[in-house]
Structure formats: C-alpha cells, structure tokens
Amino acid sequence: MSEKKPNSNTDQVDNVLLVEIDGPVATLTMNRPAKRNAMCDALLEQIDKFFSYPPEGVRAVILTGTEGHFCSGLDLSEHVQRDAEGTMRHSRNWHRVMDQIQRSGLPVISAMYGAVIGGGLELAASTHVRIAEPSTIFQLPEGRRGIFVGGGATVRIGRILGADRMCEMMLTGRKFNSKEGFALGLTHYDVEAGEALPMARKLAQKIAKNASLSNYMMIQAISRISDMSQADGLFTESLAAAVSQTSADAEEGLKAFLEKRTPVFR
C-alpha cells in the first residue's frame, strides 16, 4: 500500500517520495523523474521524516528511484545562494539525515540503476546493502562544478574507496560502471537489468526475519567500532555481545537451532 507522510504541506511535496509497505518491508521510491530524482530540500525532508518516525512493524527498508535512475545528486537548478555559514549549516543538515539513515536502527538496502551521482552516491553510501544494475553510473562530479562534496562523501565514500582513490575520482570526474563499482566496494551486488529491486525485496524479507536487536547491534556497533582503537573496539564488541546474547531472541535462536526449526523472533 502507499502511505501518505504526516505533516506535509502539499500533494506535490508528498509525491517526491513514494512509500509502500509490504509486511515488515518499506520501499521508499524517490519520485522526481524529470530531474533524474535529484535531491531537493523537500525530498530530503521526506526521507528524514520517514526514518525519524518509521511506521510500526517495519523491520527493513528499500531505497530506490523511479524511471531508470537512483539519484543524480543535488538539484543544482534549485541552488540557493548561501554565505559560508548558511552553506555549512546546509551541509550539516545533510550529514544529520545521512546519519539518520545509517543509524536509525533499520537495515536499508539501495536498489540502484542509472545515475548514482554526487549526493546520490553519498545517499547510497549511508545505506547498509547496495545492489546495482548494469545501467548504474557512479560519479563525484563536484570538482567540475567548482564545489566540494558536503553530504558526507569524504567519510563514507572515502572509507569505501580510500582517500587516494576518492581524490582521483573527484579530480578527474571519472565515472564507474556497475562492475567497476562492485570491484571498488561501492556496491555489494552486481546484477542484471531489472534484478535490483527483486533482489532488494528478497534480501529485505530475509533481513527482516533476523532478531531486531541483532540487526540494531550490527547497524549501531560495527561502523562505530571502525572509528575506535583496537582495544576500545574489542571492549565495545564484548558489550554488544553481552546485550544481544542474553536477550529473549538469543534464547529463541538457540532453542530453534537445537530443535532444528526456523526461529520466531519478537
């Protein structure tokens, strides 16, 4: 079904993000086809609202775009002239929303095709599982526009590619196709045309069957541990293990294994 977002001003704003809920899986479709689903403030706001107040019962999310494109980045046609402080605050808002996607506690899968460019790549990099079709193009063209990334690329994409590779990618404006993106880690699955969304649904249903606490711990702990020293990371891992392995779901998981059946988690 399609769920209308709360606190929206107009149908036009509502329609920039289509939300469909199928059991425990929500599919968010960026819906600005005339702009190759370029990110505008209204679309960013709708994504933020969803992850701030996810519908009850949703345990996994698919993020995709409409009419052949994922997201072509920031909509430069709606560019607003800002001073240094305004630009910094705008960038920090992007950081906040990308953090919300990455750490809301819901596993998020990107089903990608067509443009995954600039802010679109920053958006994809904030998700946990990424699937790309052959039409996918990865690019960071900010250098050709006389600007610098501001949606978290230096952290998320830089950690995927490494600082050296990302610098070269930005300096040259080069494009990577789906196979190159797979080899570099920009996507986890390189699939045939028309297969990204079906695979995303299959994986989302599978992930939704995990214990929600285990999913939450994986999302919250792993990325943070990568920022820590080895000693701090190992201690944090022990804390996460202690919380998850003493839960009711852990008890059910062990019982189901011994009884040779599928576990039924809360």
Q: What is the pLDDT of residues 183-230, one digit of tens each?
A: 999 999 999 999 999 999 999 999 999 999 999 999 999 999 999 999
Q: Is 20 a catalytic residue?
A: no
Q: Is 122 a catalytic residue?
A: yes
Q: What is the pLDDT of residue 76?
A: 82
Helices (H), the chain: 11-14, 41-52, 84-103, 119-125, 153-161, 163-172, 178-184, 196-208, 212-225, 230-245, 248-258
Fold of the domain spanning 11-208:
2-enoyl-CoA Hydratase; Chain A, domain 1 (3.90.226)
Q: What is the pLDDT of residue 81?
A: 81
> Would the pLDDT of 160 be above 70?
yes
Q: What is the pLDDT of residues 81-106, one digit of tens each?
A: 889 999 999 999 999 999 999 999 99
CATH number of the domain located at residue range(s) 212-258 in this protein: 1.10.12
pLDDT band at 80 (very low <50, low <70, confident <90, very high): confident
In the chain, domain spans: 11-208, 212-258
> Would the pLDDT of 246 be above 70?
yes
Which one is catalytic: 78, 122, 168, 237?
A: 122
Which one is catalytic: 3, 20, 142, 237?
A: 142
Model pTM? 0.91
> Would the pLDDT of 35 be above 90?
yes
DSSP letter, residue 43: H
Percent of the chain with pLDDT strictly greater than 70? 95
Average pLDDT value for the chain? 92
Q: What is the pLDDT of residue 11?
A: 35
Q: What is the pLDDT of residue 14?
A: 62
Percent of the chain with pLDDT strictly greater than 90? 83
CB 4 within 8 A of CB 33: no
